[in-house]
Amino acid sequence: MEEPEDSPPSSKSRRWIYATLILCGYGFFKEFKPSEPFLTPYLTDNTTKNFTKDEVNSQIYVYWPYSFLIAEIFVLLLTDIVRYKPVILVEATAYLMTRFLLIWGTNVVSMQMMQVVYGIATATEIAYFSYIYPAVSLKHYKKVTSYVRAVRLFGQAMAGIVGQILISTKAFNYLQLNYFSCASVFVACVFAILLPNLCSCSCWNGTETQKTSSRGMGTCAQAVADYIRTTTHKRLLDLKAYYSSPSLLKWSLWWALATCGYLQVGNYVQSLWKEIATSTGVSYEYNGLVEAITTLCSAFAAFTLSFMKVNWPLWGELTIGCLSLLDSAVLFIAASTKLLWLAYICHILYRTTYAFLITIASTQLAYAITHDSYALIFGINTFIALVLQSFLTLAVSDEHGLDLGIRTQFRVYSGYYYFLMLVFVSAGVYKLTSMGWGQSFRLCCRDPLSQVVTSRDRTGDLVGPETEEPERQKLIQNTDDGIKNSYSQPV
């Protein structure tokens, strides 16, 4: 579904709006799983699966990060080449298979398989976040980044609200909630099928297909092979350029380190809540409500970011460091408290700060990445996070490692974020001191990346042909030069 170059502006505008709406619909329904906040209770409840706490924490949950890591390798290599939609279809199918295994699986092995399939689904999620950028022009990047992240979080919030109501009123039990979630994921599969194709290989568009139909599939296969070879070469050049840029390297480093902690905390936070509730004899369970409030706060943070004007390249390190200190504190409190409601509040604060910072990082990276390399860069950052998470899981959670208690695990995670705070606060203070705090405050509302964007093509609503190699290198250099020049300009 490639748009002709001479398409009228109104047609292009409708195209990117349609793509954004369908992607947002997919993002909502794939996250609208009311059973998700009650996964640990579902697995340990004696009326459903009846697994022990040790089986869930040390034998079942540990398979997810390992599967995620292995699947991410293939996702990293293929997502940009196949142009996103096929990977999104794999994601939707894997989420559906996860529901099937959760509902009909009966033993530890089937639950381990469920975690493996879930790892594939979460690994392919990078295509969901990368798909929209090639479909829109640069002037829409900040908006669509906020939209696709906010609607995903809104789906999680609605799932939490619906799940909590159904459980609290005893209208549904845990098993019936999983049937509900299965139906929602099926609807997401329909939205995935309706997504417009973003194929850029000339052999795959309608004109070239007619030409090659009389010459056989051999010609098309050769065209595909040439496309893959050329694309791979460009990706290697992209990597060299992107990761030699200090501004991009900073956000990529934070992405990897913070996502590692975020995934690990998310994987075991329900086990922490279960431990607190069991040890204190608490009978209430508001996991769904907490997840709803958490995701609504996260969605609000992601959405309002599109209206903020802050010099993130200048103030980014200090912002990251201060929020990392907040994360460290709330994780330590959650690990130590005997009050379940306090642990819930700590989780809300933790997730909101992550959603805020990851949206900033996504926007800053998207401004400087050429349109056919989004999944590559985002995927590599996620892959590094998964490598770190796998080591962290093996060290503190796996039965073959230290197999620490759940409270001790969260104290380790608190120390991890304290380390991030030391690194980024030190870097931020050094940068601002070198420039001068007065000058830094005067520049706090000037975003140099917005100046870089004006130099790039913003005439259409669809991204045009691929950027030539010299322009790719110049783009990255312009990003760093734009940042440096804005610092030296008078205010």
DSSP 8-state code for residue 204: G
Instruction: Say what the pLDDT of residue 386 is.
Output: 85
* Range of 46-55, 93-102, 316-325, 456-465 with top mean pLDDT: 93-102
As a whole number, mean pLDDT of residues 8-24 equals 73
Instruction: Say what the pLDDT of residue 404 is.
Output: 85
- pLDDT tens for 334-347 read 999 999 999 999 99
Residue 50's region, left for phi above 0, alpha for psi from -120 to 50, else beta, is left
Model-level pTM? Answer: 0.72
CB 282 within 8 Å of CB 276: yes
Q: Give the dihedral sign, CA 282/268/177/49.
A: negative
Chain centroid to Cα 363, Å, comes to 12
Question: CB under 8 Å to 8, separation ≥6 — which residues?
Answer: none
Distance CA 397, CA 277 (A): 20
The number of beta carbons lying within 10 Å of the beta carbon of residue 488 is: 8
CA 17 to each of CA 121, 459, 460: distance values in angstroms, whole numbers, following the listed order: 26, 16, 13
Task: Determine which of 96-100, 184-188, 228-232, 248-252 has the lowest per-residue pLDDT on average.
Answer: 228-232
Q: pLDDT category, 435, cuts 50, 70, 90?
A: confident
CB 439 within 8 Å of CB 315: no
As a whole number, mean pLDDT of residues 248-260 equals 85
Whether pLDDT at 175 is above 80: yes
CB 319 within 8 Å of CB 312: yes
Instruction: Say what the pLDDT of residue 110 is.
Output: 93
- pLDDT tens for 222-235 read 666 676 677 677 76
Helix (H) or strand (E) holding 460, with range, is none
Distance CA 54, CA 65 (A): 17
Q: What percent of the chain has pLDDT over 90?
A: 26
Question: CB under 8 Å to 131, separation ≥6 — which residues?
Answer: 19, 23, 84, 85, 88, 195, 198
Q: pLDDT category, 189, cuts 50, 70, 90?
A: very high
DSSP 13-56: HHHHHHHHHHHHHHHHHHH--TTGGGHHHHHH-TTTT---HHII
| More confident call, 9 vs 286 | 286
- Side chain identity at residue 295, one-letter code: T
As a whole number, mean pLDDT of residues 418-445 equals 83
Distance CA 38, CA 60 (A): 15
Output the six-digit token pair for 187: 């609807």
Q: 121: closest CA among 222, 240, 217, 31?
A: 31
3-state secondary structure of 157: helix
Distance CA 302, CA 372 (A): 24
| Helix pair 63-82, 108-123: axis angle to 10 deg | 30
As a whole number, mean pLDDT of residues 319-330 equals 91
Question: CB under 8 Å to 43, separation ≥6 — which residues?
Answer: 49, 51, 56, 60, 111
- pLDDT tens for 71-110 read 888 887 777 778 788 999 999 999 999 999 999 988 999 9
DSSP 8-state code for residue 467: P
Distance CA 41, CA 53 (A): 10
Instruction: Say what the pLDDT of residue 144 is.
Output: 79
Q: Which long-range contacts (CB under 8 A, 24 or more apart) does 186-190 make?
A: 186/96, 187/29, 188/26, 188/29, 188/30, 188/92, 188/95, 189/89, 189/92, 189/93, 189/96
Residue 458's φ and ψ, nearest 5 degrees, are -130, 25
Q: pLDDT category, 55, cuts 50, 70, 90?
A: confident
Q: pLDDT category, 410, cuts 50, 70, 90?
A: very high
Torsion of the alpha carbons at 107, 108, 109 and 113, rounded to the nearest 10: 100
- pLDDT tens for 262-290 read 989 988 898 899 899 888 887 777 888 99
As a whole number, mean pLDDT of residues 34-53 equals 87
Distance CA 96, CA 63 (A): 18
- Side chain identity at residue 107, one-letter code: N
Q: pLDDT category, 30, cuts 50, 70, 90?
A: very high
- Residue that the structure tokens 């209770």 belong to: 41
Instruction: Say what the pLDDT of residue 129 is.
Output: 78
Instruction: Say what the pLDDT of residue 8 is.
Output: 52
Task: Determine which of 188-202, 370-384, 399-413, 463-477 has the lowest per-residue pLDDT on average.
Answer: 463-477
Distance CA 396, CA 264 (A): 11
Task: Determine which of 91-95, 290-294, 315-319 has the lowest per-residue pLDDT on average.
Answer: 315-319
- Residue that the structure tokens 């098309």 belong to: 220
3-state secondary structure of 338: coil
Residue 132's φ and ψ, nearest 5 degrees, are -75, -25
As a whole number, mean pLDDT of residues 196-203 equals 59
What's the helix, strand, coil split of the chain in %, to 5?
80, 0, 20
Output the six-digit token pair for 278: 């069991």
Task: Determine which of 183-192, 351-360, 374-383, 391-400 has the lowest per-residue pLDDT on average.
Answer: 374-383
**Mean pLDDT of the chain, nearest integer:** 78
DSSP 281-333: T-----HHHHHHHHHHHHHHHHHHGGG----HHHHHHHHHHHHHHHHHHHHHH
Instruction: Say what the pLDDT of residue 466 is.
Output: 42
Rounded to a whole number of angstroms, the CA Rg of the chain reads: 23
